[in-house]
Structure 1
Amino acid sequence: MKKKLAAFAPVILVLTACATTETATTTAATTQQVGMAAIKIAINSKCVTELNNTPAWKKSTQLMTAEQKQNIQTDICGCVSEKAPQNVTTVDLATAAIDPAARATIVNNVVTKTIQSCVSEAVNK
């Protein structure tokens, strides 16, 4: 019986290692997804705030209807949210998932880097 147990021990060890690696990979992927979701929500909110506080936005949307203004704002901030993954590292995503202060800093950086190009895209449509 001891010989059979000794023969199966390496197999059990290998299978346990595979399960542990898979669990760690799944946990990392889940953390990254949660981080990205948190970042995208915060980016959209920050984008709307930035647009509404920009004098050029206020001036250029004065003659628009509320619906037109909302549509353009949605296009711009949707663009900023979609471009976020290009400006955020995996480490940033993991940090954003657990640290609200870091999330705010990351969001500010991403919005600053992408809002101008998204405004240009929306205007040129």
Structure 2
Amino acid sequence: MKKLVLLFAPLTFLLSACVAPMSGTTTGTTTTTNSTAQQLGITAIKIAANAKCNTELNKLPAWQTATRLMTAQQKQSVQTNICGCVSEKAPTSVTAVDLAAAAIDPAARTIIVNNAVNRTINACINEALQ
């Protein structure tokens, strides 16, 4: 699974580089422009956060205790929900500068992802287990 993520992440970046940046969109009086670097950064953060979440979740003693009575399918379903939540929330917990750095620098991406996952995983676990 991790090898697939490592294989698809660079491929996603290469294919995304061919896409023209989105032009500004106007919402009321606010104009929002997403640069290609930010889009790549968001994609990178989401992919890496999902992989990191799966790894970190399995290390948590509370997760191991909470899933002890679950079937493998139930555990996988809850884990998918939690890590999906983390990968969606992770980009919102980093700055635009961090997103641009994540698109370009793998070392920065690792640090940014670790921080983003640590900030969002507990909230997502609480949402999924309620």
TM-score normalised per structure 2? 0.72
Query: 1:47 aligns to what?
Result: 53
Question: In structure 1, what is the Cα distance between the partners aligned to 2:74 and 2:21?
Answer: 47
- Three-state SS of the structure 2 residue aligned to 1:91 is helix
Query: 1:20 aligns to what?
Result: none
Higher helix share: 1
Query: 1:112 aligns to what?
Result: 118
Kept in 1: contact 2:37–2:103 (CA 8 A)? yes
> Against the structure 1 CA distance between its residues 105 and 29, is the aligned structure 2 distance closer, same or farther, given a 3 Å change threshold?
same
- Alignment identity in percent? 62
Q: Kindly state the Cα deviation for residue 120 of structure 1 after the two structures are TM-superposed.
A: 0.6
Q: How many residues align?
A: 101
Kept in 1: contact 2:45–2:113 (CA 8 A)? yes
Question: In structure 1, what is the Cα distance between the partners aligned to 2:107 and 2:89?
Answer: 21
Please list every run of 5 or more consecutive structure 1 residues that lacks an aligned counterpart in the other structure.
Answer: 1-22
TM-score normalised per structure 1? 0.75
Query: 1:29 aligns to what?
Result: 35
> Against the structure 1 CA distance between its residues 102 and 63, is the aligned structure 2 distance closer, same or farther, given a 3 Å change threshold?
same
1:95 aligns with 2:101: yes
Kept in 1: contact 2:91–2:116 (CA 8 A)? no
Q: Deviations over 1:71-114 (max 9, x none)?
A: 10011111111112320111001100111111000001001101
Q: CA RMSD in A?
A: 1.8
- Three-state SS of the structure 1 residue aligned to 2:35 is helix
Higher strand share: 2
Higher relative contact order (CA 8 A, sep 6+): 1
Question: In structure 2, what is the Cα distance between the partners aligned to 1:25 and 1:37?
Answer: 15
Q: Kindly state the Cα deviation for residue 24 of structure 1 after the two structures are TM-superposed.
A: 8.8
Query: 1:79 aligns to what?
Result: 85
Question: In structure 2, what is the Cα distance between the partners aligned to 1:84 and 1:66?
Answer: 26
